[in-house]
Amino acid sequence: MVSSQFHYTKQNRFMPFLLAEILNFQGSTHRIGVGSFSYLIEILGILIDNAIEAQIRTEGEKRIIFKFFEYTNKYLFTIMNPYEHVSYAEIESWFRQNKSTKGKERGLGLFYVKKICEEYNACVLCRNTEYMQENWIEMTLEIKKADKI
């Protein structure tokens, strides 16, 4: 198993490190089961952008955690950010077309992620999780290795 983790705060922006890690990962993309590296970047971009936008609208320290794990048969990418507890019905609604917590004329990102995942037999999971004694939203993208599909 390979693991990477980055924290985002006002003082320490993780994006340069995240991009370097994803580019390191690109050497292994002949083994991912989502069609092309561009789909992976697109999915991760949407998930990270949503986490960043959720933090912009909150008070206090801005924090995001990105984790990457490589297992024998799959890759896991996890993005977490502090957020109020959300019902599972509400979480499910985030993946519907034109449903957004950010206002009108929004709500295509997670719907698009869902469609890509359905097409390539990948999985995106979203849940509330307790971390550092507060609620966080955790999005995990699971992609099977191409030779394990």
> What confidence category does residue 141 fall into, taking pLDDT thresholds of 50, 70 and 90?
very high
Q: Distance between CA 23 and CA 12 in Å, rounded?
A: 20
Q: How many residues does the chain have?
A: 149
For 61-73, how does the pLDDT look when each residue is reduced to its tens digit (9 = 90+)?
A: 778 888 888 888 8
CA dihedral angle for residue 55, residue 56, residue 58, residue 61, rounded to 10 degrees: 70
Q: pTM of this prediction?
A: 0.74
- Cα dihedral 143, 146, 147, 149 sign: positive
Q: Residue 26 has what pLDDT?
A: 46
Instruction: Tell me the three state secondary structure of residue 68.
Output: strand
Would the pLDDT of 18 be above 60?
Answer: no
Instruction: Tell me the three state secondary structure of residue 70.
Output: strand
For 28-60, how does the pLDDT look when each residue is reduced to its tens digit (9 = 90+)?
A: 544 565 566 677 878 888 898 888 888 887 777
Token match 């990418």: residue? Answer: 77
Would the pLDDT of 102 be above 80?
Answer: no
